[in-house]
Structure 1
Amino acid sequence: MKLSRLLLFLFPLFCLSAAAQPDTSHLRISLLTCSPGAELYSTFGHTAIRVTDSARRIDMVYNYGTFDDSDPNFYAKFTRGIMVYALSRHPYQQFLAAYYEEKRSVIEQTLQLTGDQKQRLNAALKLNALEKNRYYNYYFHTDNCTTRARDMIVQKTGASVVFNNILPEKRPTFRNLIHSYLDKAGQNWSKLGIDLLLGSNLDLQVTNEQAMFLPDYLLNGFDNATADGHPLVAQKQAALIVTPEPPSITLFTPIFVFSALFTIISLLSFSTNIRARQFLNVFDSVFFLLVGFIGTLIITLGAIRIDNVCQSNYNAIWALPTHLPIAFVVYLKRKWLQYYFRSVFVLTILFAVCWFFIPQQINMAVLPVLGIIAMRSYFRGNLPVKKRAASNTTNVFRSSKTINMEL
């Protein structure tokens, strides 16, 4: 009886002793989160994995964000969504120096993993860094340098990682998350370009895991995550603190520029001055050419890209590809052209009226553009139509016949 009680008392101590076995791996694994940069590709920040081996005096950073823009087919592949990225290795101090030069801070989260889990991840990263394994197809919101780092830690350590919710009650969309970074960086024109070309699939609400395609959200996700029942992050510290330069404030924003243009064109449209009419003929040709080009680009990207980010784009309703050929004959006074612009006017007004019901967030700078389209379509649709030459010839013949009869 006494022996059984003694064993019952000693059993938890044995378990505690087994759980508290010393880590002999000499490895330290941490997640590095880099703040946004000035360039568009760095606006959303960056993520990397740091592996420190104190026994071998190795301090290496594994970076899934390497790409080669010297490829002659780079821009063609980029247009189709075929972005080939690669895993690269950099000494930690070299990595830190590069971000110091770019004036970008780095936050380090040391992970609380067992020695065996660290060794597994280290071996997986080394294997992934081999030339034959390091390349992957990059998709900016589903498979990027941040999601790759997360998946390696979650899948290759063998730890049971659980992410707690980091999102507000009203979940944001992919576009909402992207906008928050672009607005903070003052990337107004880039925001307009992204909103024009990326379709309604970006307006789906994100899940907790999907939000972690952005470095800051992965950082928060790790802060609130557990591994095998204990906090995943053992320590969090600033590896590099740099005060970024605030974005310059400018009035040269899309909404200001297009609103000013709408005001000018509206005033000229009601003018009877001959020079104003001549200017508007040239303006309409250039304007509808650009709108038609945008519409053609929207349709083309939706058709040729291998992902779905450009599909179901409602901007194609107002940016009609048919404007492209019409721009070359916009000055003609034809009945069919009059009907065309009347249809464009109605379609544009309907799009503006249904603005808040469209299942896609349309950039606010599009509103004054819609105003210009509606304004010029209205005037083009109500221009006097030139009579056909055949009709004129018939009238001349009839007049001549009448004169002969009178004579």
Structure 2
Amino acid sequence: MPVQLKKFLLTYSFIYSTIFFASAQDYQISLLTCDPGDQLYSAFGHSAIRVLEKSTGEDLVFNYGTFDFNTPYFYVKFTQRTLDYMLSVSTYERFLAEYNYYQRDVREQVLDLSPEQIERLVDFLQINYRPQNRFYRYDFFYDNCATRIRDVMDRVLGKQLDWNEEQNPEQKTFRNLIDEYVYPLPWADFGIDLALGSVIDVDASEREKQFLPDYMEAAFGKALIVGDGPTRPLVKENKVILEFPDRESPMDLFNPYILWWVFAILVMALTYFGFKKKRLFIGFDIGFFTVLGLLGLLITMLWFFTFHSQTKYNWNILWAFPGHLILAFMLMRKSIPAWVKKYLLFALISANVGLVFWFFGWQSFHPSIVPLLLVLILRTNFLYYNLEKFRLNPKG
């Protein structure tokens, strides 16, 4: 190689390295973690990446947790899990304005990345933001706003990132983890336990817990960068950006725990009165089994006709069964077929099997369904033994 060309290449390489190092050092990369909000969609918190370019003052937030409400058939796609989420970019100021408005705490972890790592991360985010790359199929547990950021870090840092996980962590199922966040929203808690199946009653690994922003924040705080000079923590600085006084969750008496027990006590009284007066009060059973049947249809649809992995093998169907709709229809007829009595026995046994599934831990049901199961067992028993006798009573 000619001496002049060699000098030129060395000079060019030095200048490029200097410019690259200065450019990369100009960026500050942070993980933003936002506290849960008061609504179900915000009950689990949020995560985003902040990219601050110091020389220009450009301060952007890359957010994997957004979707387009104008998507055709939005609610159908959301229900079936065919709705795509996307990576969006907003200014840091605009991002904070929303959380300030809703009074949700925001914390920042500034990452201790090398210039090369910063460049790879910024390049990856810019490429990922291109229209053809920004959309992805959202999955609450395995592919959401938090796990996407974790996966970005894994991809950019590779073997240089050591998550430094605990060797003997506290064991928690996915359902336990959800319950930590939805207990202030009792009806949402009830609905989630009704819709999600036994597949979430398994222990989550430390990595899998990172679908929740708080757990990913903790994971970032433990993580180390290795093989890039001396081993160092991934996070070099922690900041509190927004902080508000803790808000107490008011005790709402209209919740499933109280409501279903009051309902069960009233049904017990109705059944006792009906037994004494030899009346069925069949109108109640028509309404009750209609509601259970509709719930069963919903569970069936979520289990077999959507792409949600968490709604499979949902044994709530043992008590909220679609066939109860047929029972309700038959109870409206003047002449009731003989097989209805056999169906009542099936419904009674099925409800008891549900209790067995719960007792042995095959699926954790919401505690407030206990009174509903008692009502189901009571009424199927009552109808099984008295339907033919009391049906002859014109008042029945």
* Paired position in structure 2 for 1:237: 239
Q: 1:331, CA displacement in angstroms?
A: 4.6
* Paired position in structure 2 for 1:68: 68
Q: 1:22, CA displacement in angstroms?
A: 7.0
Number of aligned pairs? 366
* Paired position in structure 2 for 1:142: 142
Pick closer, same or farther for the CA change 1:346–1:24 going to 2, 3 Å: closer
CA-to-partner distance for each residue in 1:109-147, whole Å, 9 max, x for gaps?
A: 000100111111111111111222111110010000111
C-alpha separation in 2, matches of 1:272 and 1:301: 37
Q: Verify: 1:55 aligned to 2:55, yes or no.
A: yes
* Paired position in structure 2 for 1:394: none
SS of the residue corresponding to residue 383 of structure 1 reads: helix
Residues 112-151 of structure 1 mapped to structure 2, 5 A cutoff: 112-151=112-151
Q: 1:24, CA displacement in angstroms?
A: 4.8
Pick closer, same or farther for the CA change 1:276–1:215 going to 2, 3 Å: farther
- Larger displacement relative to structure 2 (334-343 or 62-71): 334-343
Check whether the contact 2:80–2:307 (CA below 8 A) recurs between aligned residues. Answer: yes
* Paired position in structure 2 for 1:227: 225
Match of residue 210, structure 1, among 198, 208, 211: 208
Query: What amino acid does structure 2 have at the position aligned with 1:216?
Result: D
Query: What amino acid does structure 1 have at the position aligned with 2:300?
Result: I
SS of the residue corresponding to residue 285 of structure 1 reads: helix
Residues 238-257 of structure 1 mapped to structure 2, 5 A cutoff: 238-257=240-259
C-alpha separation in 2, matches of 1:144 and 1:366: 30
* Paired position in structure 2 for 1:286: 287
C-alpha separation in 1, matches of 2:379 and 2:242: 54
Q: Verify: 1:193 aligned to 2:191, yes or no.
A: yes
Residues 2-401 of structure 1 mapped to structure 2, 5 A cutoff: 24-25=23-24, 26-157=26-157, 160-165=160-165, 169-183=169-183, 186-228=184-226, 229-272=231-274, 277=279, 280-332=281-333, 333-385=336-388
* Paired position in structure 1 for 2:10: none
- Larger displacement relative to structure 2 (119-128 or 239-248): 239-248
Pick closer, same or farther for the CA change 1:62–1:292 going to 2, 3 Å: same
Give TM-score, length-normalised by structure 2: 0.87
C-alpha separation in 2, matches of 1:74 and 1:275: 52
- Larger displacement relative to structure 2 (356-365 or 173-182): 356-365
SS of the residue corresponding to residue 309 of structure 2 reads: coil
CA-to-partner distance for each residue in 1:60-103, whole Å, 9 max, x for gaps?
A: 11011111223341111111112311111111111111110011
Check whether the contact 1:201–1:311 (CA below 8 A) recurs between aligned residues. Answer: yes
Pick closer, same or farther for the CA change 1:203–1:107 going to 2, 3 Å: same
Query: What amino acid does structure 1 have at the position aligned with 2:189?
Result: K
SS of the residue corresponding to residue 270 of structure 1 reads: helix
**Moved >3 Å (runs of 4+):** 21-24, 166-170, 272-278, 331-334
Q: 1:244, CA displacement in angstroms?
A: 4.6
Q: 1:167, CA displacement in angstroms?
A: 8.3
Check whether the contact 2:169–2:206 (CA below 8 A) recurs between aligned residues. Answer: no
C-alpha separation in 2, matches of 1:224 and 1:330: 61
C-alpha separation in 1, matches of 2:61 and 2:72: 29
C-alpha separation in 1, matches of 2:387 and 2:118: 79
Pick closer, same or farther for the CA change 1:28–1:284 going to 2, 3 Å: same
Query: Identity, % of aligned pairs?
Result: 35
CA-to-partner distance for each residue in 1:147-175, whole Å, 9 max, x for gaps?
A: 11111122124561111225864410111
Gaps of 5+ in 1: 1-20, 388-407
CA-to-partner distance for each residue in 1:356-405, whole Å, 9 max, x for gaps?
A: 11411111111111001011101110125279xxxxxxxxxxxxxxxxxx
Q: 1:307, CA displacement in angstroms?
A: 3.4
Query: What amino acid does structure 1 have at the position aligned with 2:315?
Result: Y
C-alpha separation in 2, matches of 1:89 and 1:44: 21
C-alpha separation in 1, matches of 2:121 and 2:258: 51
- Larger displacement relative to structure 2 (249-258 or 98-107): 249-258
CA-to-partner distance for each residue in 1:155-203, whole Å, 9 max, x for gaps?
A: 12456111122586441011110000011xx111111111111111111
Pick closer, same or farther for the CA change 1:55–1:158 going to 2, 3 Å: farther
Higher Cα radius of gyration:
1
SS of the residue corresponding to residue 382 of structure 1 reads: helix
C-alpha separation in 2, matches of 1:344 and 1:82: 34
Pick closer, same or farther for the CA change 1:354–1:57 going to 2, 3 Å: closer
C-alpha separation in 2, matches of 1:274 and 1:71: 58
SS of the residue corresponding to residue 140 of structure 2 reads: coil
Give TM-score, length-normalised by structure 1: 0.85
Query: What amino acid does structure 1 have at the position aligned with 2:341?
Result: Q
Check whether the contact 1:117–1:159 (CA below 8 A) recurs between aligned residues. Answer: no
C-alpha separation in 1, matches of 2:274 and 2:306: 47
C-alpha separation in 1, matches of 2:326 and 2:51: 58
SS of the residue corresponding to residue 299 of structure 1 reads: helix
Check whether the contact 1:340–1:381 (CA below 8 A) recurs between aligned residues. Answer: no
Query: What amino acid does structure 2 have at the position aligned with 1:223?
Result: G
Check whether the contact 1:166–1:221 (CA below 8 A) recurs between aligned residues. Answer: no
Query: What amino acid does structure 1 have at the position aligned with 2:187?
Result: W
Query: What amino acid does structure 2 have at the position aligned with 1:96?
Result: L
